[in-house]
Amino acid sequence: MTVVLVHGNPETAAVWNPLLDVLGREDVVRLSPPGFGAPLPPDFEATVPGYRSWLEAELERFARPVDLVGHDWGGNHVVAVAMRRPELLRSWATDTIGIFAPDYTWHPLAERWQAPGAGEEFVRSQFSPPPPERKAMLEGIGVPASVSAELAAGMTADMATAVLSLYRSAVQPTMADLGRDLERAARRPGLAVLAAADRNVGTDEQRRAAAARAGAAVVSADLGHWWMAEDPRWAAGVLTAFWAGLGDT
């Protein structure tokens, strides 16, 4: 069964490198959302529904349903697909289930990106410095040194444009409205990864309640937002155990 990995912001597919080094599988495909390690076409709709449609189209290319894993915004795209196109999946996993809680509020960084004018100035301060400064900035917000240089190199003008468009399309109540359909995600086995030190994706209560509504199993660890790079052996272990428990579903 093919494993498909989808990353988020401000990232490229390199964020998965530490996990792939220990996962020990050859049937893994990494998909890069437009603007995030892949070109941003001029006519692409860099919005919540636009990325959902992009991911659905990518998954339609596979001959069989896949085991889909998403991190950060990739995790949001995964849940959106699980709710609308379950036939594309054997299973799904996300670390952002709490964002779909009805009372979730965006974290301060997101609010800055969402603010007209201030958002443009903020992305300039993040994306314009040379790569070594971007690397230091990423490490300052918790990105492990094992992937920070590659992620810093991928912070392009396309990504800056996509960040503003995507976050502004997600101003509440957009995510809360999407979360009304969480029960539909239960049509396929799901896994909610709860990184306890990640403060940007909802409270523990929000995450567990949203996971229950989506019918998802829950695993937790005292790790941060980039858990798959921070402790790749733990990440590989929990994902492998989850997939093994699916049998022939």
Q: Are 105 and 118 in contact (CB under 8 A)?
A: no
Q: What is the pTM of this model?
A: 0.97
- Residue 149 to residue 178: CA distance in whole angstroms: 34
- Residue 220 to residue 233: CA distance in whole angstroms: 14
- Give the ranges where 45-172 is alpha helix by DSSP (H): 48-59, 73-84, 108-114, 118-127, 131-140, 145-153, 157-169
Calculate helix-pair angle for 73-84, 48-59, nearest 10 degrees.
70
Structural domain includes residue 165: no
Structurally, the chain folds into a number of domains equal to 1
Cα 249 off chain centre by? 24
Choose among 1, 19, 15: nearest CA to 234: 19
Structural domain includes residue 159: no
The H or E element spanning position 92 is strand 89-94
Burial of 16 (0-12, 13-18, 19+ CB in 10 A): buried
State the pLDDT at residue 249.
56
For residue 94, the enclosing domain spans 3-105+173-244
Which residues partner with 94 through β-bridges?
70, 192
Name the region of 92 (left: φ>0; alpha: ψ -120 to 50; beta: rest).
beta
Q: Residue 192 is part of a domain; what is its CATH number?
A: 3.40.50.1820
**In Å, what is the CA distance from 86 to each residue of 39, 162, 174, 244?**
27, 26, 21, 19
Structural domain includes residue 145: no
Structural domain includes residue 199: yes
Q: Are 16 and 75 in contact (CB under 8 A)?
A: no
State the pLDDT at residue 248.
66
Structural domain includes residue 144: no
> What values do phi and psi take at 60, rounded to 5?
-65, -15
Structural domain includes residue 116: no
- Residue 39 to residue 220: CA distance in whole angstroms: 34
Would you write out the chain's pLDDT as a tens digit for each of its 249 residues?
899 999 999 999 999 999 999 999 999 999 999 999 999 999 999 999 999 999 999 999 999 999 999 999 999 999 999 999 999 999 999 999 999 999 999 999 999 999 999 999 999 999 999 999 999 999 999 999 999 999 999 999 999 999 999 999 999 999 999 999 999 999 999 999 999 999 999 999 999 999 999 999 999 999 999 999 999 999 999 999 999 999 765
Structural domain includes residue 210: yes
Half-sphere exposure of 61 (CA within 13 A, CB side): 7
3-class DSSP assignment, residue 164: helix
- Residue 179 to residue 246: CA distance in whole angstroms: 25
Structural domain includes residue 224: yes
- Residue 189 to residue 123: CA distance in whole angstroms: 37
